Amino acid sequence: MRAEPAAQAVLLDVQAHDSRLDRLAYRQRTLPETARLTELGAQRSELASRLAVQRTEVDDMADEIRKAETDITQVRSRRERDQRRLDTGAVTSAKDLEGLQREIVSLDRRIGVLEDAELEVMQRLEDAQRAQQGTEAQLTALDADLTVTTDAQDAELRAIATEAATERDERDRAAATLPGDLLMLYEKVRGQHDGVGVAPLWQRRCEGCRLELNAADVREIAATPANEVLRCPECNRLLVRTAESGL
């Protein structure tokens, strides 16, 4: 294939733009903020699950306390009725009086047991509420971190998009001046060689594969017309001669 040296030089510019676009795409894919957001998202899911369990536990204990209070109220009411019967002399039979007194003692014990159980649940409830509040505080702090990190990611993505748009415009303007067959060949070779389709020959070394050409290849290149499109004998990329080629 033949192409004027000026067109070959422009092809190097197109490659430079494409390389910068590739680096921008890599930067976009590997933003530290993206990895951090993934980490924070996992932490948030764990905290949210923990908080849901804690809220259920707190609600269950609150229900348990309400039931205990109801039970205590009922037993106390029963005890008060028995005490009134005892105080008013409503019970005259010695046997019934003895039974009533035993029941009052039993109810007192029952009230004590219920109150102790209620106090134990109330203590557990306080502990559970503190744990819940701690998790809620962690979630609040994490959400703030998520907001800051998301804002930073958005800013980076906008900056990358702006830079990429400029690169793409400049690349397209340069590519528009090239012969269609040369550009098509470049795109094909670029796709086969990790995004680098053309490289300059610098001091007898291909800057695509970084290998120095042997003397025979250098002599052959030096004898090739300037408008002949070269291929690197080592990596097969397009090779462009420059003033620094060392020919």
Contact 56, 129 (CB under 8 A): no
Q: Which of 169, 203, 219 is the last residue in one of the domains?
A: 169
Q: Does residue 96 have a pLDDT over 90?
A: no
Residue-range definition of the domain harbouring residue 142:
31-169
The pLDDT tens digits of the residues spanning 228-242 come to 999 999 999 999 999
Mean pLDDT confidence for 190-197: 96
Mean pLDDT confidence for 129-144: 98
Residue 1: DSSP 8-state? -
State residue 157's pLDDT score.
Answer: 98
- Which segments of the chain does DSSP mark as H helices, in order? 5-29, 32-88, 94-175, 180-192, 215-223
**Whole-angstrom Cα distance, residue 217 to residue 223?**
10
Q: Report phi then psi at 245, rounded to 5.
A: -70, -20
- Counting other chains too, the contacts that 205-214 makes at CB distance below 8 Å and 24 or more residues apart are 206/232, 206/234, 206/235, 206/237, 206/239, 208/232, 208/235, 208/237, 208/239, 209/234, 209/235, 209/237, 211/235
Do 152 and 187 lie in one domain? The reply is no
Do 81 and 148 lie in one domain? The reply is yes
Do 89 and 122 lie in one domain? The reply is yes
The pLDDT tens digits of the residues spanning 41-84 come to 999 999 999 999 999 999 999 999 999 999 999 999 999 999 99
Question: Per the structure, how many domains does the chain have?
Answer: 2
Do 57 and 81 lie in one domain? The reply is yes
State residue 188's pLDDT score.
Answer: 98
Q: Kindly state the tokens that stand for 19.
A: 């390389």
Q: Sorting pLDDT into bands at 50, 70 and 90, what band is 148?
A: very high
CATH classification at residue 84: 1.10.287.1700
The answer to whether the pTM exceeds 0.85 is no
Mean pLDDT confidence for 166-195: 97
Q: Which of 169, 203, 226 is the last residue in one of the domains?
A: 169
Residue type, 99: G
Q: Which of 112, 141, 169 is the last residue in one of the domains?
A: 169
Q: Kindly state the tokens that stand for 204.
A: 């007898």
Q: What is the bridge-based pairing of β-strands 230-231 and 238-241?
A: antiparallel
**Whole-angstrom Cα distance, residue 20 to residue 26?**
10
